[in-house]
Amino acid sequence: MNTFFDPESVVVIGASNSPVNLGAMICRMLHEYSSFDGRVYAVNRKGEPVHGCEGFVSVTDIPGDVDLAVIITPVNVVPSFVRQCGEKGIMRIIIETSGFSEEGGRGRVMQEEISEAAREFGIRIMGPNCLGVLNVRNQFCCFYGISDDHFGTFMPDPPGAISYIIQSGGMVATILESLMKDVVKVNKVVSIGNKSDVDEADMIAYLDGDPTTEIIGMHLENIENGRKFLDVARGVRKPILVFKVGRTEEGVLAAQSHTAGMANNDVLFEGVCRQAGIIRVNSISELHSLPKIFTSMLPLRGPRIAVFTNSGAFGGITADLLINAGLEMARLSPETQERLRRTGQLFNASNPIDLGPALSMQTFLDIFDILLSSDEIDGLLPVPSLWHPMIIDAIGELVKKCHYYRKPAAIYTPNAVYRTVSYREEYQVPLFESPEEAVRALQVSYQYYRYSSRKRRPGDHEPVWDNKLQQGVA
Amino acid sequence: MNTFFDPESVVVIGASNSPVNLGAMICRMLHEYSSFDGRVYAVNRKGEPVHGCEGFVSVTDIPGDVDLAVIITPVNVVPSFVRQCGEKGIMRIIIETSGFSEEGGRGRVMQEEISEAAREFGIRIMGPNCLGVLNVRNQFCCFYGISDDHFGTFMPDPPGAISYIIQSGGMVATILESLMKDVVKVNKVVSIGNKSDVDEADMIAYLDGDPTTEIIGMHLENIENGRKFLDVARGVRKPILVFKVGRTEEGVLAAQSHTAGMANNDVLFEGVCRQAGIIRVNSISELHSLPKIFTSMLPLRGPRIAVFTNSGAFGGITADLLINAGLEMARLSPETQERLRRTGQLFNASNPIDLGPALSMQTFLDIFDILLSSDEIDGLLPVPSLWHPMIIDAIGELVKKCHYYRKPAAIYTPNAVYRTVSYREEYQVPLFESPEEAVRALQVSYQYYRYSSRKRRPGDHEPVWDNKLQQGVA
């Protein structure tokens, strides 16, 4: 599978100099503004070079070995190019062209035809109807439509920890744009489309073995092979977040017209997730908001949460959310409350703790120590209003203390989203964009912690996130 | 009640030149960077002027009439100042000071004391433990802590359509910051705190009669008087959006420690909302994201929604969301599908409609006309990916056509939130920030439409939003 992500030589079949040619966009990206250092060839009717990539009429004309072919031609010529690749000895093909089984009828027949050709030559196929691969480490990417201006959004420097398996290319931009202003960055993305051969289970297995991937995020419209998926997922040692469409019959129908999946039983899928310890997320936005619980926060090892805020209204709001998420408002003993009161002029020392407006950095630090060291508390939900510049510094200290005491804090600063995003980007602290998102983060952290504790046997290592954070990598 | 919002003369009791004085912040704001043209006085121990506002030792020393007093002193002197106001003939007082019934014990006794003094003189009291009033029309505001840099966030020019009743001041900034980059702007805000006298029902009645308020948004931690609330709310002709804390017992407890409310029965409140046609929202963010369904969109008059997208994955996602929200995927007849197909090269002409990538403006306009004029469809959920600048122009045309055909479109552009927010601000189109938010907007629009249709009797006018939008005000 690694050849898909790290080829030494690639041919883009269908790249030409005609206007609005998608293959040409890929050649231009790889040759002009990516630092990818493999060879890139173009195949088109005239055999002309495209944006500096040498051109050929046929794949078999290319001198030397080629690792990977990207096919982005009209649908009817795809099968013959798959055969050409076979003759050339290219064993990995990404087919971006659409119009196959997602359209039914003739498309379905054509998809069968390419599968047959692939089997004949022993070729592994990704797609059709996909965007293929994006690898931040070597800047190899065969997504079309990434302009020079936006390339940085897709290729963060340094590369990040999360790799995505996205059935449909359409939402890659949404997710990567969002990550750009978050504390987690992307590592690899693969858009697998109709999955005529390579499917989500293959990709999970590959990414679980990939040393640069720490977390796996998935968007699925269907599961190709439920048994295979379960078998692979059960053995995975990394956290998997999955957003699956098709909770309703209408959703299933819509997904079917899009990437040609079979109708799946959603209840069955839910069961598979529970068995395999897969975290099922509720929205696209959770695919990019939740990974930071693994890279920048310690696991939540119990349900008892202490809320503290200098904006009293959020006490009631977060209490409602925590209870509805199956968590608990930590009960603070009179001793703990007394210690809190001695730190300064608190409005309320029982949970939710109302800090009041006037506080020094030392008061903040003392409160963090009291709460994080207390065995009455498993995690924090801080809601600090940033009315004073000192408070953002205090948040930075809180993050450090959480690592020291090995407890998580899901921080929400009560601001408009655009302002929260800009604080998060500027100070690189793991802020959540709403109280709902912060509570969801704690819920998922606890869910995954319980799962991974059950799964571990004596002698096993602690889960990935724990080791990493203990070593201070985050 | 109007005196609270439009006083000709105000005294800020407790404003002095000592460091970090909250009253002084109010004087400075009103005198230096607000265009409020009423007289502003300060009362403090030395009788000194504060930021250009004439100073007195006692309220009774002020020459001439005073309409409104704002008290922001230590808690123990509040009752005597209430009496001073009574002697001076000031009939409206906002008490910002906290430490009353929300703290129990002595605080509760003090609150009773001020209530008694107020009754004696016939004074109406707002608070204690509140921020008071913000009125964008005359720039009168007694919120402390609004710096001159942020004043514009709180005072949009021109003023907007929504007025908020916020029990707690803490979230005013979050809401107004968010509105700053939205298509709806704020008109008035009132933070009513402990509600020793003026309560949410009084404010609803006032804002319903206020000609500059079109929509009422509320954040409540408790209801002071359920019967009064229901009676007032039933008669209201404007949409009311309410976010109420205390869905769980822990939430009720937390709210109680904050603004001193009685524990309320949430099921009862739910029933009251249903009876009175009040829209109960699920989060703070809905308080600022939903008002645009009344100011910039027509009502949804039926449940049948057509989705169209050029990012196929969102078809399945939105179908799931619509069904779960009690809406329907519109069934398009073969004739409608054929008309859609003739507009250009669509990937899929049945609902969800997949536009594919290559489209001209004319194709967009034709599709809008076909969908909006079809009697198979009540409303649209467009998910246009903005990969080409033309598409944002097409969205502008869509908004106009929605007004022409009198149907709503809840538009979501699949982008990172910060980018959606900046598109919305730049082009002033009613974009939603997630597919969940767009679907929720349609759900609430339909809910309110059904309620207001039931409520209307023959001869009654159409609901406010309808009249406005028919006249092209939006």
- Are B173 and A414 a contacting pair at CB < 8 A? yes
Residue A263 has what pLDDT?
Answer: 46
H or E stretch including A70? strand A68-71
Q: Are A68 and A49 in contact (CB under 8 A)?
A: no
- Are B317 and A168 a contacting pair at CB < 8 A? no
Residue B62 has what pLDDT?
Answer: 97
For residue B331, the tally of other CB atoms under 10 A from its CB is: 12
pLDDT digits (tens, 9 = 90+) for A419-462: 999 999 999 999 999 999 999 999 999 999 999 887 765 555 55
pTM for the full predicted model: 0.92
pLDDT digits (tens, 9 = 90+) for B6-51: 999 999 999 999 988 999 999 999 999 999 999 999 999 999 999 9
- Are A434 and B248 a contacting pair at CB < 8 A? no
Mean pLDDT of A360-385: 95
Residue B30 C-alpha, separation from nearest chain A C-alpha, in angstroms: 20
Indicate whether B456 pLDDT > 70: no
- Are B320 and A385 a contacting pair at CB < 8 A? no
Q: With the C-alpha atoms ordered A425, A426, A432, A433, is the resulting torsion angle positive or negative? A: negative
Task: Round the average pLDDT of chain B to a whole number and report it.
Answer: 90
Strands B132-135 and B186-191, bridge-based pairing: antiparallel
Mean pLDDT of A55-82: 96
Q: Is the ipTM of this complex over 0.85?
A: yes
For residue B328, the tally of other CB atoms under 10 A from its CB is: 15
Indicate whether A351 pLDDT > 80: yes
pLDDT digits (tens, 9 = 90+) for A177-187: 999 999 999 99
- Are A252 and B316 a contacting pair at CB < 8 A? yes
Report the alpha-carbon distance of residue B178 to residue A416 in Å, rounded.
5
Chain A CB contacts of B320 under 8 Å are: 245-248, 250-251
Residue A170 C-alpha, separation from nearest chain B C-alpha, in angstroms: 5
- Are B257 and A433 a contacting pair at CB < 8 A? no
Residue A223 has what pLDDT?
Answer: 82
The total number of residues shown for chain A amounts to 474
Residue A262 has what pLDDT?
Answer: 46
Identify which of B283, B317, B419 has the shortest CB distance to residue A177: B419
Report the alpha-carbon distance of residue A340 to residue A360 in Å, rounded.
14
Residue B469 C-alpha, separation from nearest chain A C-alpha, in angstroms: 28
- Are B174 and A414 a contacting pair at CB < 8 A? yes
Report the alpha-carbon distance of residue B243 to residue B240 in Å, rounded.
10
Indicate whether B260 pLDDT > 80: no
pLDDT digits (tens, 9 = 90+) for A296-346: 999 999 999 999 998 878 988 999 999 999 999 999 999 999 999 999 878
Chain B CB contacts of A171 under 8 Å are: 311, 313-314, 414
- Indicate which of A417, A434, A437, A439 best probes the interface with B, i.e. most B CBs within 10 Å of its own CB: A417
- Are B257 and A323 a contacting pair at CB < 8 A? no
Residue A241's φ and ψ, nearest 5 degrees, are -105, 125
- Are A415 and B173 a contacting pair at CB < 8 A? yes
Residue B457 has what pLDDT?
Answer: 58
Q: What tokens were used for B101?
A: 């019934």
Report the alpha-carbon distance of residue A280 to residue B151 in Å, rounded.
43
pLDDT digits (tens, 9 = 90+) for B127-159: 999 999 999 999 999 999 888 888 988 999 999
The percent of residues in chain A predicted with pLDDT above 70, rounded, is 93
Q: Are A175 and A291 in contact (CB under 8 A)?
A: no
Chain B CB contacts of A312 under 8 Å are: 168, 170, 258-259
Query: How big is the A-B interface in CB pairs under 8 Å?
Result: 191
Question: CA dihedral defined by A121, A122, A127, A131, rounded to 10 degrees?
Answer: -90
β strands within A137-244, DSSP E: 140-141, 162-166, 186-191, 215-220, 240-244
The percent of residues in chain B predicted with pLDDT above 70, rounded, is 93
- Indicate which of B167, B175, B250, B345 best probes the interface with A, i.e. most A CBs within 10 Å of its own CB: B250
- Are B316 and A284 a contacting pair at CB < 8 A? no
Report the alpha-carbon distance of residue B231 to residue B209 in Å, rounded.
15
Chain B CB contacts of A422 under 8 Å are: 418
- Are B313 and A221 a contacting pair at CB < 8 A? yes
Strands B353-354 and B279-280, bridge-based pairing: unpaired
Residue A474 has what pLDDT?
Answer: 38
- Are B177 and A415 a contacting pair at CB < 8 A? yes
Residue A64 has what pLDDT?
Answer: 93
Chain A CB contacts of B258 under 8 Å are: 312-313, 315-316, 348, 354
Question: From A434, which residue of chain B is nearest by alpha-carbon distance?
Answer: B285
Chain A CB contacts of B251 under 8 Å are: 316-317, 319-320, 323
Question: From B219, which residue of chain A is nearest by alpha-carbon distance?
Answer: A313
pLDDT digits (tens, 9 = 90+) for B263-287: 467 788 888 888 889 999 999 999 9
Indicate whether A84 pLDDT > 60: yes
Q: Are A273 and A281 in contact (CB under 8 A)?
A: no
Q: Which residues, at least 6 apart from B369, have a Cβ–Cβ distance to it below 8 Å? A: B401
The DSSP call for residue B219 is E
Report the alpha-carbon distance of residue A81 to residue B463 in Å, rounded.
62
Please name the residue ranges forming H helices in B242-388.
Answer: 249-259, 266-276, 284-289, 292-295, 313-324, 334-342, 361-373
The total number of residues shown for chain B amounts to 474
* Rounded alpha-carbon distances, angstroms, from residue A380 to A309, B2, B289: 11, 43, 28
- Are A416 and B174 a contacting pair at CB < 8 A? yes
- Are A350 and B257 a contacting pair at CB < 8 A? yes
Indicate whether A254 pLDDT > 80: no
Q: Which residues, at least 6 apart from A104, have a Cβ–Cβ distance to it below 8 Å? A: none
Question: CA dihedral defined by A196, A198, A204, A207, rounded to 10 degrees?
Answer: -150
Q: What tokens were used for A245?
A: 């469409």
Question: From A182, which residue of chain B is nearest by alpha-carbon distance?
Answer: B416
pLDDT digits (tens, 9 = 90+) for B299-350: 999 999 999 998 878 988 999 999 999 999 999 999 999 999 999 878 789 9
Return the higher-pLDDT residue of A458 and A193.
Answer: A193
